[in-house]
Chains A and B, each alone.
Chain A
Amino acid sequence: MDFDIIFGNAARAGLGPQAAIFALAAIGLNLHFGYAGLLNFGQVGFMMLGAYGTAIVVATWGGSLWLGIPFGLGLCVAFALALGIPTLRLRSDYFAITTIAAAEILRLLIRSSPATDITGGPFGLQAIANSFFDLNFLPDGRFGWGTFSYSSNQLWVMIVAWILVVLCSALVLALIRSPWGRVVRAIREDEDAVLSLGKNTVAYKLQALVIGGVIGGLAGVIDALQQSGVGSENFEPQVTFFAWAALILGGLATTVGPVVGAVLFWFLREGVESFIRELSEQGWLPNALADFLDGAEGAISIALMGIGLVALMALRPQGIFGRRRNLHLGT
């Protein structure tokens, strides 16, 4: 049993680009749900637009990456407005249903054959991040120890991604501590009360949706950069729910919650998968069970994470950093 390997794998995932991407997505969701009370189940739609917007400008239109990224984020703004303007006047459950449907419709459109000329359809788009990696000042080679190591380009993506995580966390914190943020949190508690005090609640909800969506779009941009390409299979609905899991794990309406939640989510997911693989390789499992688990380590890991989340909800429903008494304050 080599715990170095298991821990190395887990740590690599927990600090790697994937964790940073999910941290960004969860920071956006935290602004949406944790602070503004908007149930967004379509965060992956924003990630997809950020990623595809960037990739289309570079790979399809031959433009610069530095035009592609703002274009992708601009699409996120448009998506937020298109989602929010018709539905934010309605009850929150209508909004929730619309978001999950809109994100999935968007994905199906992107991978459809008529869109192939622009989006690459089922094949996606490749070789988009060259000008990003040209900026990499790190020397070649691998950095780290054993399984806990990254290539130079991975490390470069990580540095940029984690800086963005810090910046976005700081942005959300500053916004939420301003009078603007006070109105947004008040809307989460009771929209009618805020309306009766003369605030245009729909406008505030729309603004929160746009900002959280653009942060989700940044997550998508980083994803496109680290793979130097995009593919529609990376933007299935479960991505949204992994981001939700990270947010709930860390704690809603806290600054570090979404970040620590994302790190922990990927650490545990990779750690458990690695652990199961080690178990079977060392022959510590009965043959029948080992055969059953062979190749399914990822699925088992996700299933165990699900059980873990259920246990968390029972034992510590406010997440790691949340305040328990907040749950008991009826709204």
Chain B
Amino acid sequence: MDVRVCEVTTKFGRSALSSAVLLAAVFVLASAYTATGGSSRDLLVDEMLTNLMLVVGMQVFIGNTGVLSFGHMAFAQVAAYATAVVAIPVVEKTKALPDLPFGLADVHFGPAGSTAFAIAVTLVVGATIGIVICRASGLAPTMITLAALFVVDQLVKNWKELTRGAGGLSGIPQQSVLWLWGGALVALVVAHVFQEARIGRFAIATREDALAAPALGIRLFTSRYAAWVVSMGVIALAGSLRAQSLGSVNPKQFTLDSGILILVMLVVGGMRSLSGAVLGAVLITAGTELFRQLGDPQRLDIERFPDVFLGGTMLLVMLLRPDGLLGDRDFGGWLRRRMTRRSDVTTVAPVSTGAALEATDITVRFGGFVALDGAGIRVGPGEIVGLIGPNGAGKTTLFNVITGLVEQQRGRIRLGDLDLSEATPVEVARAGLARTFQNLRLFNNLTVRENVALSALVAERHRSHRPPVNIDELLEDAGLAEFAHRRAATLDYGNQRRLELARATALAPEFLLLDEPTSGMSDTESLAMVDRARAAAARIGAGVLVIDHDLGFITRISHHIVVFSEGRMLAEGSPADVRANPLVAAAYLGSQA
């Protein structure tokens, strides 16, 4: 069988297995609960299953992208009403909604049709609003989702021709609990598949570091948007099935408060983990019910005790375990790691394309400060060029200009025949420049191997003209094989630096741009780094441009050294030449002495 087909089948099978195991656990708990009490207990199980679907829907977006949304309930609301207007039989519908627009008056679908219709409507609405949400950054997406929630809420209350206002709609044919179990299974499988899929991995990378992901060729918008759309689909399923389980819809079902309830489930369980989402849904649904029974119906505080429980639980979890009860522990993830086999790709160094990296006449001003003043640099194919200079010489600024993070006022950047002068970080990375960062930017909550595997995934998709790399060989080169399944955040400083190198290498770039790869390392470690960086570059046939303060490291590793001072090139030449140059001694070594 084709390797790719085989891989897709494995991913799907794994997702289905994880989902089934999680849901089976829930089923055992639910059966034990309903078997010991009256039929009112069935209602709680219904509630828990819809909650579970909603949490899973939120997890797909919030958990994978790290962007907080208060507005998911708005879309569940849209789906619930979309279900109502097509699922209620025509006769009753004409009575309740005599002026129903869009020619919906005579439409009537069965349960499957209504669900499909609701998902379609929600996807159209959600995907449109999602464009704005996924383009925004910082706090903006959260505020926009909040706006969406209020707008939908007011539309539902006021667009009476379609929704009958505050009273809501009833008479939706009620479906059995089997639909809810089925829906929960579908939701879990979809969410697991998304986490396994390439685009899902990319979304997770943007969550972990929104600057490092683009520098590896991952587009923030595309991956976030994919997560948003999938999340909308699951939320719509949940909203529609909830309406069909209750038999009615009203504006009070999907409010900010109910959204926060779901959010609490997500953060209590651990938002990065799907197992956590399931755990949260079960725990919070049960806890809320328990506290509801503490309330005194006479004093009307029946809703208040659950509120104390929710607020208190959320506060305690935030203070004591901000990553949630499970953190990164996830059944699906565990299964994936267990099933990871050693990569059997043989890395072959590609035939050199002969492309050189050239930056010429670069000028950058920050306000009145001239960081770069007509500076330039050239790195030939397979060449290792060291860039040194005192603090403020403009070394990192040059890196940032080349990789598209800082815009130059003048000057051109070329990679072979390719003009990268105006390129974005994503385009630069895909064109074949991979960088590391001075102040480490790893995907902290992912394992060492997953960090490297992510760049390999980008390479597979966007740099397929280069031969594939063997992740495990790269890890061995970097001396990280024994830590492959540790979280990146738990590594010591030197290993984190080596991991950044391995991650950049896995992109199979034409050039590696290393920003102070030995900073914070001991002398022996930085000596070893010479060999590691050389080995990594040789394995993928890449040239290297490296900045460092450690003159010993730079002279050992470089074929050619360029010295910057005050935004300009001061000198260049072989390591020996540069050492002998009195200008360099004065500007650079002198200032160090």
Does B associate with A? no
